[in-house]
Amino acid sequence: MQDQERFARVLTNGLESISLASSLSSITKTITNVAREIARSDGTTFVLREEGQCYYVDEDAISPLWKGKKFPVEACVSGYAMLNKEIVIIPNIYRDSRVPQDAYLPTFVKSMCMIPIRVEAPVGAIGVYWANHYEPSADEIRVLQIVANASAIALENLELRNA
The enclosing domain of 6 has a CATH number of: 3.30.450.40
- Reported as a single tens digit per residue, the pLDDT across 10-26 is 888 988 888 888 899 99
Which has the closest alpha carbon to 126: 135, 117, 138? 117
- Reported as a single tens digit per residue, the pLDDT across 24-49 is 999 999 999 999 999 999 999 999 99
- Read off the DSSP letter of residue 141: H
* pLDDT reading at 4 higher than 90: no
Confidence of residue 1 (pLDDT cuts 50, 70, 90): low
Taking the C-alpha atoms of residue 68 and residue 51, their distance in angstroms, rounded to an integer, is 15
Number of domains observed in the structure of the chain: 1
AA identity, residue 136: P
Q: Which domain range does residue 147 map to?
A: 2-162
Distance of CA 120 to the CA centre of its chain: 16
Instruction: Determine phi and psi for 112, rounding to 5 degrees.
Output: -155, 165
